[in-house]
Structure 1
Amino acid sequence: MIRRRGPGLVPMTRSGDVVPLSREALWALVHEERAALADDLAALTPQQWAAPSLCGEWSVEEVVAHLTAAASVGRFRWIRSMVGARFDPALHNRRRLAEHRGATPDETLARFRAAVPSTTAPSGHTPAWLGEVVVHAQDVRRPLGLPRTPSVGSATEVARFFASRDFTVNGRTAVAGLRIEAVDGPFATGEGPLVRGTTLALVMAMAGRTAYLDDLDGPGVVEMRHR
């Protein structure tokens, strides 16, 4: 059964449970979200490329270069890079970002477009790499006021993964002991004080983007802010 929830299609069983997508379907979502972001970036001014993102100290252009790196570094190259960085993820990320950033924003965008169809990743956790582009796309779009958002289907897959473990983000820790419910799709998990919002806002909050806590409501939001 496929039910339409918001702008995305979410596969569900007759009992209402979300059906996990195949790896091929997840990669199709990754490619879709990358392509949508590349289209959004095409008309940016030099000032917008240099604007701060929601991702730490990185500019918009640096976030895009990071996404290109994430789509270009496989498992063994990732291991070599981490060893060379003495297992410092921040240093690893800075080095790979610098490698994939172009001499100009146009070149950075061209490199990102070339990586859109890539299925290269450091591990087989495909929902995590969907999360990489969903989260970083919003890191760029929100400060720039770009209106497009990922599909509910994409956001639901990422929310389920983030809530189930601490991997690329500390998502499970962020929602432990809370009841989390999406208002635009089927995602729901946990028991405890309620946190409600769009699936995307829940994903971004689990990824540590505090700006999105303002988009959530319920008694559990205070606890999420403390975390």
Structure 2
Amino acid sequence: MTDTLVSLIHTERAALADDLAGLTDAQWAAPSLCDGWCVEEVVAHLTSAATMTPARWIRSMLLAGFRPAVHNRRRTAEHRGATPAATLARFREVSASTTAPSGHTAAWLGEVVVHGQDARRALGLASGPSVGSATEVARFFVSRNFAVPSARNAAGLRLEATDGPFTAGAGPIVRGSTEALVLAMAGRPAVLPDLTGDGVAVLRARIGGPGPGPAQSSAG
């Protein structure tokens, strides 16, 4: 299973790099769905994750006083290039890396799936992760809180993917693409309009976001 997940990570990194290759400077500077980070910073963060060994992670966290935001800010600045093109080139260089801060391979697949969509969705790009990649992340996210409170966000809900095999939980139903379910568990309110079912109101209360519009009445 680990080899499969590593292969998916490499595939998703390469696909993201290709999708972002033609961006303008304004698009690189656009806010992503990850609060406080522009698109270029998201890519630099992914480069950092692909070069972070457990020892490097511990040292960086120690120097940051075990403040994840400080750690992330420093490492993102370290891996950001002098230009967006340089930042993207650095990301491409590590696209086949097998280095990670820990052995939680599904979590690092989640990094590129979630942050990739943080960038793509903010820019209005229609592409996204494969259903297979999103399914592996969904299964991991619903099972535990790791980096994001995904299991807590999903607790007491019945999640049903409309494009793949993923289902989990019991309770009010939340239906949508596997990718949208992953992003919702990761706390991205922007995907709430893509979901339906009585459980969407519960998710909205947990992760924030606007109320349902006229086309989303079944989610209320």
Considering the TM-score relative to the shorter chain, is it more than 0.5? Answer: yes
* Residue equivalent to 1:47: 26
1:212 aligns with 2:199: no
Which residue of 1 is the match for residue 54 of structure 2? 75
- The residue type paired with residue 153 of structure 1 is G
Instruction: Using the TM superposition, give the Cα deviation of residue 143 of structure 1 relative to its aligned residue in structure 2, in angstroms.
Output: 1.4
Aligned runs of 1:172-191 on 2, under 5 Å?
172-191=151-170
Aligned residue among 99, 104, 107 for 2:83: 104
Q: TM-score, normalising length from structure 1?
A: 0.90
Other-structure match for 1:17: none
Q: Provide TM-score, normalisation by structure 2.
A: 0.93
Task: Give the superposition deviation at 1:169.
Answer: 1.1
Q: Which has the bigger relative contact order, CA under 8 A and spacing at least 6?
A: 1
Identical columns (%)? 68
2:103 is matched with 124
Q: Which consecutive unaligned segments of at least 5 residues does structure 2 have?
A: 207-220
Partner of 1:28: 7
2:10 corresponds to which letter in structure 1? Answer: H
**CA RMSD after TM alignment:** 0.6
Q: Distance in 2 between matches of 1:143 and 1:83?
A: 33
Whichever residue aligns with residue 157 of structure 2, its letter is L
The 2-side partners of 1:195 and 1:107 are apart by 40
Number of aligned residues: 206
Give 1:201's match in structure 2, choosing from 154, 163, 180.
180
Runs of 4+ off more than 3 Å? none
**Structure-2 separation of matches of 1:75 and 1:109:** 24
Task: Return the letter of the residue paired with 1:133.
Answer: V
CA distance in 2, matches of 1:194, 1:38: 34
Q: Does 1:59 align with 2:38?
A: yes
The aligned counterpart of 2:218 is none
* Secondary structure of the structure 2 residue equivalent to 1:77: helix
CA deviations on 1:125-144 (whole Å, 9 max, x unpaired) are 00000000000010000111
C-alpha separation in 1, matches of 2:45 and 2:63: 18
Report the alpha carbon displacement of residue 154 of structure 1 after superposing the two structures with TM: 0.2
Q: Distance in 2 between matches of 1:117 and 1:146?
A: 23
